[in-house]
Structure 1
Amino acid sequence: MIFPQTITSAAATAFLAFSLGVDAFGTPCVYQQYKCGYNLVATQVYNNTELTTAVNMTGPIPPLATNQLLQVLYRCTDTNGGLAGNSFCIAGCMTMLGNSDDQCAL
C-alpha cells in the first residue's frame, strides 16, 4: 500500500519544516521582563544581530557599537522572545538577583 507510506512521508516533512522554523535564540526571555544585553547574550543565547535589530526599532536609542549593545536594558515584548531596546545604560547595566528585572546603574 502506498497510502501509509505517503502519510509517514508527509508527517516527517511537516516535522522537519516546524523544527527548522525555530527562532535563533535558545531560551527566549520572559514576557515583560527587563534584561541587560550581556545577560541576553551570555545566558539566553541571543546574538548581536538580534540586539541591534531591537535597538534600531527603538526611536530614542541612537545607533550603538557592538560593545554598547551589551549595556542596553531590553524589554521582552512577547512570549516568543521578541525584544525591544528600552534604554542605553550610560553608567552600566546591572543584574538584579532572583527573578527581578535588571536595571540601569545610576
Structure 2
Amino acid sequence: RQLDGAPSTISVLPEIVEAVDGRIPVLIDSGFRRGTDIVKALALGATAVCVGRPYLWGLGAFGQAGVERVLELLNQELRAAMMQVGAPSLRHLTPAMVRRA
C-alpha cells in the first residue's frame, strides 16, 4: 500500500485466488470505497472485502448513525451493481463480469 511502484491489490487478486485454490479465505483490502468496488473484488474471487475508510468517515461524521448509513449506501450500491451485471446473488458473480481498463 505504501509503495508507489507496487501493483494494486485488485490487480493481483486473481493470481492470489488461483494460488490458494480454495484452501483459505481470501480477504482483500486497500482502496475499496464503493459498492461497485466490492462487486468487482467478489467477482474476481475474494471471499470478503474490507472497507475501513468509508466506515471511519461515517463514524467521524455522525458516530454510529454514520457507520450505519455508510453500510446502507454500500449495500445499495452493491445491489445496484449486481442487478446491472445480471447477478441475482453473490455466488453468481464471475470474473467474466469484470473488464479491465
Q: What TM-score do the two structures reach when normalised by structure 1?
A: 0.28
Identify the structure with the greater strand proportion.
1
Identify the structure with the greater helix proportion.
2
Q: Which has the larger radius of gyration?
A: 1
Q: What TM-score do the two structures reach when normalised by structure 2?
A: 0.28
